[in-house]
Structure 1
């Protein structure tokens, strides 16, 4: 397993990380808690050392399970968590967004509670979870510096929606020298990653990209097909039928990325991301040990050739020659869309 540094922070992450939204929640289908612990430990044994959770996942339960699974091997792993959603004082209403709190006082308190649940003395990486650009003011930046100076946090990231707001937020993270920026980025949804890599280059910044949803919520690993019936509570069940149909047509046009016995589509999707130097790690959603075995091995498969990368770029530029709307347009911006208009984007996937 390859490792890459987050910015200039000295914090290293495995190029394939573990997105722990699946731990302690049922939003990707239900599973037992011991099953989740076993899955985390299996990932570590397969070389995955970067584990990315959030305090709001299961309202703290994900952090507790991650701490239980990894506590005895703390010195082998890089642990990230997210703060910003005030689930302490607000009930969860289905899959709806709960109120956020981004004051310095709340951030300090939330980090301390996260560390208590993890049973750890520091976070290797702290994300501000879906923070709007106007919420991260000088006082919040000062609070982040205090957390680093106290040793409770080693590196800082901004985790983006993108449906909560993404472009102005990501640009602000890079301009303010955040160590990392977590964003939806995959072969189908290239706009955010491409824009931020350009911003990093323009500002000569050291911010690293953490790519989440690398398999486009199950399309690029072929776990979601047009006929798939998703389990109760699975958040993908709320997506329009057009998303599934359009996505599967795109997958068929990417078959050239597969190499029989050498590289699966799911592995190729990860290798496409790792071909970008600014991407430090991808965080797929592991649901089974088979997923772990396949995707943790992705960095060891043949890297995508220049020809393959060019073919992907050409297909994306032509929108895969598919005229149908996938029903996912309308990702909003937290600054009324003016940032999106400035770069000619209206949707995180265009």
Structure 2
């Protein structure tokens, strides 16, 4: 598995991240239920297989199935904790310093570990008031204290609307940014990815595979395209081809999904950088004229 250094954290991680949401979410259309005994056993097998295939970064959250995802991953972490970078999240809305500390300790218990490599503020759209609460209202102070105690290694933040995370880049203690960025939602490319690179923070993507939105869209508009694996491959390669992104998160339920994604990552070597893709009509004209 290819590896990369996660910005200024210095952590060396795989170019593919195992996303923990599927271990908390039921998908009956595909006979997926991680709450059942059989589903839980399959999920544990998938996490083990991901580590076996060289995935060395696992991302989860306490809200994924009310702790079920963390619990499943914890079953694997107990004997294999030193094989990966482990990241989880905390809710900050209306939460005090004490609430955040308690949340992290509850995650530690479910994940069966005494330390976390990355803990991220779990959010989507940040207003100025949200920024002030996180930075000055107790949540960031809580994670700073846990970092000083060695309970967590680095602090991060997640953002569904990437541009709203821009004000946090001036905070030296926030080192990892998990941003919604994919083939059909490219806001981050114009609003934060360049600034994130300038600050040398770690950048990982959520919604890498568009959360199935692209697949459902083309199924309606171009069913012959939807049946092709190229849709999936193109979505993953889009993110891998952007040098401003360190690693994408992909949710994987079964071991064969792990194999599919690992094989795609290992076989892809972009000969272009999507960081240089023109994103304004005038710039497209200029690029075409230059070509």
Judge same fold: TM > 0.5, yes or no. yes
- Partners of 1:188 and 1:276 lie apart in 2 by 14
SS at match of 2:103: helix
Distance apart, 1:158 and its partner CA: 0.4
**1:140 corresponds to:** 139
- Conserved 8 A contact 2:242-2:274: no
Distance apart, 1:197 and its partner CA: 1.3
SS at match of 2:104: helix
**Mapping of 1:36-51 within 5 angstroms?**
36-51=43-58
1:182 matches 2:182: no
1:197 matches 2:223: no
1:75 matches 2:82: yes
**1:173 corresponds to:** 168
**1:233 corresponds to:** none
Deviations 1:210-234 (A, max 9, x none): 11111112256x5x4665xxxxxxx
Given the two structures, how large is their TM-score scaled by the length of structure 1? Answer: 0.68
- Partners of 2:260 and 2:139 lie apart in 1 by 40
Distance apart, 1:265 and its partner CA: 4.3
**1:323 corresponds to:** none
- Conserved 8 A contact 2:157-2:178: yes
Structure 1: segments with no counterpart, 5+ residues? 86-99, 228-243, 259-263, 319-350
Distance apart, 1:317 and its partner CA: 5.7
**1:325 corresponds to:** none
- Conserved 8 A contact 1:15-1:299: yes
1:113 matches 2:113: no
**1:208 corresponds to:** 202
- Partners of 1:180 and 1:10 lie apart in 2 by 11
Distance apart, 1:117 and its partner CA: 0.9
The correspondence for 2:59, drawn from 33, 49, 52, is: 52
Deviations 1:91-110 (A, max 9, x none): xxxxxxxxx34321111110
Given the two structures, how large is their TM-score scaled by the length of structure 2? Answer: 0.81
Distance apart, 1:189 and its partner CA: 0.9
Distance apart, 1:82 and its partner CA: 0.8
- Partners of 2:168 and 2:263 lie apart in 1 by 31
Structure 2: segments with no counterpart, 5+ residues? 34-38, 282-291
Distance apart, 1:45 and its partner CA: 1.4
After superposition, the Cα gap between the structure-2 partners of 1:155 and 1:34, relative to the gap in structure 1 and judged at 3 Å, is same
- Partners of 1:141 and 1:212 lie apart in 2 by 22
Distance apart, 1:290 and its partner CA: 2.5
- Conserved 8 A contact 1:24-1:33: no
The correspondence for 1:271, drawn from 218, 229, 237, is: 237
Deviations 1:72-97 (A, max 9, x none): 11111111101106xxxxxxxxxxxx
